[in-house]
Amino acid sequence: MNAPPSLHHAHHAPPVYFLQGMRKAVSVPALVLFASYLGFGAVLHGVGFPLGAGVASTLLVWALPAQLILIGGLAAGTALPAIALAVGLSSMRLLPMVVSVAPYMRGPRRSLFWELVCAHFVAMTVWLEGLRMLPHLPGEARVPFTLGLGLSLIGVSCLGTVAGYTVAGEVPGWVAAGLLLLTPLSFTVLMVRNAVSATDWLALAAGLILMPLTLHLEGGLDLMISGIGGGTLAFIGGRLLERRR
């Protein structure tokens, strides 16, 4: 995969890479995140959830499925251990993303603290953009670039949460639900855009086929199983195709 043109540059100081990460956050995925969290903010208002706690969930969780499970469980009076288990299971889908992109987030000097901070930012947007951009950056640029990208996207999400909560009375329920659907639709388009090899296309096809078969599973296991299962099948299929060439 060729490096994005803007990433061919000389070595700079960490603040420069941080600013470059912030600049990369100004994109269509950021607009989709804002719109999605606009819907999330409207949901918060609809169930009577405090705005401050909702923004805190965006800062600390930053995963819409897990946040909706958290808010819905608290609003329904579900026991806290059950909510924690459900949120944890729904977030398991992010583990393969973290494992795949984490090696690119390490600087020339290993720092467990900064690696954990960078890992917190790994959701679909940072994962896709990280796999596309980080391999082409020098080692000292990767941590500050990820911090700039991740902090900016979380900031956009928090702004969307506040805005959605503020204008909730003006947003019909069906519009809020539609805004929440923008995120998976946008990420599907991004994955198609980034698909290069046969394995990439096989993974997309396998995920689309397996997802309907796992919809009955709760706690986010449907995404994890269809993702890991589809990815494994795609990897095996891709290797077999390479051997035939």
Q: What is the pLDDT of residues 72-103, one digit of tens each?
A: 888 888 888 888 888 887 787 788 889 889 88
Burial 217-232 (b: 16+ CB within 10 A, else e): eebbebbbbbbeebbe
Tens of pLDDT, residue by residue over 44-76, are 888 889 999 999 999 999 888 888 888 888 888
- Map out the domains of the chain as residue ranges: 14-179, 195-245
Strands (E), 106-244: none
- pLDDT value at position 148? 94
Q: Among 170, 150, 173, 178, which Cα is nearest to 36's?
A: 178
Does 186 have pLDDT greater than 80? Answer: no
**What are the pLDDT digits (tens) for 112-145?**
898 899 999 998 888 888 888 899 898 889 999 9
The 8-class DSSP code of residue 36 comes to: H
- Given a contact cutoff of 8 angstroms between Cβ atoms, the answer to whether 199 and 223 are in contact is no
Q: What are phi and psi of 63, to 5 degrees?
A: -155, 110
Burial environment of residue 29 by CB neighbours within 10 A (0 to 12, 13 to 18, 19 or more): buried
DSSP state of 10: -
The whole-angstrom separation of Cα 71 and Cα 135 is: 37
Side chain identity at residue 104, one-letter code: Y
Under the banding of pLDDT at 50, 70 and 90, the label for residue 200 is: confident
Q: Which amino acid is at 89?
A: L
Please tell me what DSSP assigns to residue 158: H
- Amino acid (1-letter code) at residue 234: A
Confidence (pLDDT) at 146: 93
Alpha carbons 116 and 134: distance in angstroms, whole number: 17
